[in-house]
Amino acid sequence: GTGMNGAVVLAKHRGTDRICAVKTFSTEGMDAARYRRLYNEVDIFLRMDHPNVCKLLEVYEDESHVYLVMEACMGKDLYERLALQRRYAEEEAAVAAKQMLEAVHYCHTHGVCH
């Protein structure tokens, strides 16, 4: 698929056989300031660890791309779940809202805006 900033593919980790998502960013024509911002974000995400935030596992780079190996989120997103279910019980909605708010709060405390 395609993420907001580049291509995203599923891959199997050679060492663990774990299914991962690999985001690919082209660095061709990237100016030095954008490159520094990318690696600043990578550094922040490598340190993040929260059950409701997708974990960045590894980073690779070649002469023209940066590859971010991340946890694969295989379930449906909230919009898809709502479209299928049409309604949520109040308790289910409260749990989903709490998880999202905890994730956003965690990101904000680490200097990340989502």
Binding residues for ATP: 23
Write phi, then psi, for 92 (nearest 5 degrees). Answer: -65, -45
Cα(24)–Cα(65) distance, rounded to whole angstroms? 7
Residues annotated within a binding site: 23
Burial class (CB within 10 angstroms; exposed 0-12, middle 13-18, buried 19+) of 68: buried
* CB 8 within 8 Å of CB 23: yes
Cα(6)–Cα(67) distance, rounded to whole angstroms? 10
